[in-house]
């Protein structure tokens, strides 16, 4: 297979990503794809076309509904997508000024595509995976901060609706995917831990992370100790305001967690979740059904509206530079 980044340099080169999509259930392939996209979305020096096509690849992989892809995207990618959306929130006109304050027409198109695709992805994934706490929390945070989610353009509205109704029906019947529910709590914790390890902290971000950690109700002993130690370090920081000391404490806390987790994984590598553990994971997801149900009517209305425009959209394409930029996006 070609180097993935070389496949993200143009629409023509993007065709070569088919090999990655066909083999995405291979563990090494999935890890390579996710690490590459994570690096592209995180690095401020990434080319705009790389970011847009990388986001497109993640969208198309999630469309396959593989559990391993959902797990990986939840752990490594979805928070970066949230940052893209938040980074554009206070700028003029959705996405057009994401890459530059003085963009040419092509940069406007790429910025608009990136931000709109990011918004649509969070909206759709929240529909498809209502029991995923990481995605649900990101969706709610964005909504509460005033973010408006656009009508679907890059998703097939009929397919979105069909899968959403399937998920909704399964939830009504109490039929939850055991594989998915068994990793939800782990996903949420690991995603927050990764955010801690790479964050440049400020008071608002610290408070947000600390509160989210404390919302994870059922954790193993190692995770419980991590959460308690982080909270203690954060409370100390609020008193002494010593950021360097706080960062050193967090580094030590993360290192201790990783060392113990490595030791524990070696001892438990032949073990699987017990029936009791699976039952506990399933019960934890039920609380998400109640909050999600409140949004169902407005969501279904939006999906019906999207049926109208979706008839005009046959495939996902990055728009070519055109004088009709406003007609294409608004």
pLDDT band at residue 57 using 50, 70 and 90 as cut-offs: very high
DSSP string for 24-53: TTSHHHHHHHHHHHHHHHH-TTS-HHHHHH
Region for residue 296 given its phi and psi (left: phi exceeds 0; alpha: psi -120 to 50; beta: otherwise): alpha
Q: What is the pLDDT of residue 13?
A: 95
Residue 70 has pLDDT above 80, yes or no: yes
More confident residue, 295 or 149: 149
Query: Model confidence at 160, in pLDDT bands (50, 70, 90)?
Result: very high
Question: What mean pLDDT is predicted for residues 81-103?
Answer: 86
pLDDT higher than 50, residue 282: no
Please state which of the ranges 14-18, 55-59, 223-227 shows the lowest mean pLDDT: 223-227
Return the pLDDT at 199: 63
CB 152 within 8 A of CB 160: yes
Q: What are the helix and strand counts (H, E) for the chain?
A: 16, 0
Higher-confidence residue of 52 and 275: namely 52
Return d(Cα 160, Cα 305) in angstroms, integer.
Answer: 13
At 117-151, the pLDDT tens digits run 999 999 999 999 988 899 999 999 999 999 999 89
Provide the pLDDT confidence category of residue 3 given band limits of 50, 70 and 90. very high
Residues 6+ apart with CB under 8 A from 133: 184, 185, 187, 188, 288
Helix, strand and coil content of the chain, in percent to the nearest 5, comes to 75, 0, 25
Give the start-to-end residue ranges of the domains of the chain.
5-322
3-state secondary structure of 289: helix
Structure tokens given for 24:
């995405």
Tell me the pLDDT band of 84, cut-offs 50, 70 and 90.
very high
Band of residue 16 on the pLDDT scale cut at 50, 70, 90: very high
**What's the chain's Rg over C-alpha atoms?**
21
């Amino acid at each position: 297979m070609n180097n993935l980044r070389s496949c993200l340099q143009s629409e023509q080169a993007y065709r070569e990503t088919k090999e990655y999509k066909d083999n995405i259930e291979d563990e090494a392939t999935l890890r390579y794809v996710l690490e590459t996209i994570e690096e592209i979305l995180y690095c401020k020096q990434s080319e705009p076309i790389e970011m847009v096509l990388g986001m497109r690849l993640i969208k198309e992989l999630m469309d396959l509904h593989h559990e391993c892809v959902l797990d990986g995207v939840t752990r490594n990618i979805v928070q970066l997508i949230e940052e893209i959306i938040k980074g554009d929130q206070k700028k003029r006109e959705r996405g057009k000024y994401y890459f530059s304050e003085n963009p040419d027409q092509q940069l406007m198109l790429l910025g608009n595509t990136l931000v709109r695709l990011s918004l649509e992805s969070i909206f759709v994934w929240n529909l498809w995976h209502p029991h995923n706490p990481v995605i649900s929390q990101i969706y709610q945070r964005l909504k509460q901060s005033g973010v408006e989610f656009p009508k679907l353009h890059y998703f097939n509205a009929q397919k979105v609706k069909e899968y959403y109704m399937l998920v909704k029906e399964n939830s009504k019947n109490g039929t939850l995917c055991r594989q998915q529910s068994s990793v939800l709590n782990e996903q949420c914790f690991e995603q927050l831990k990764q955010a801690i390890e790479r964050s440049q902290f400020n008071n608002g971000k610290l408070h947000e992370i600390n509160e989210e950690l404390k919302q994870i109700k059922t954790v193993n002993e190692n995770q419980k100790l991590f959460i308690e130690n982080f909270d203690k370090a954060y409370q100390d920081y609020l008193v002494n305001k010593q950021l360097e000391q706080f960062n050193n404490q967090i580094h030590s806390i993360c290192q201790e967690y990783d060392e113990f987790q490595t030791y524990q994984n070696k001892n438990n590598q032949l073990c699987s979740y017990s029936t009791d553990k699976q039952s506990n994971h399933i019960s934890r997801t039920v609380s998400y059904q109640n909050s999600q149900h409140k949004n169902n009517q407005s969501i279904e209305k939006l999906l019906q509206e999207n049926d109208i425009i979706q008839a005009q959209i046959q495939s996902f394409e990055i728009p070519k530079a055109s004088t009709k930029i406003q007609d294409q996006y608004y």
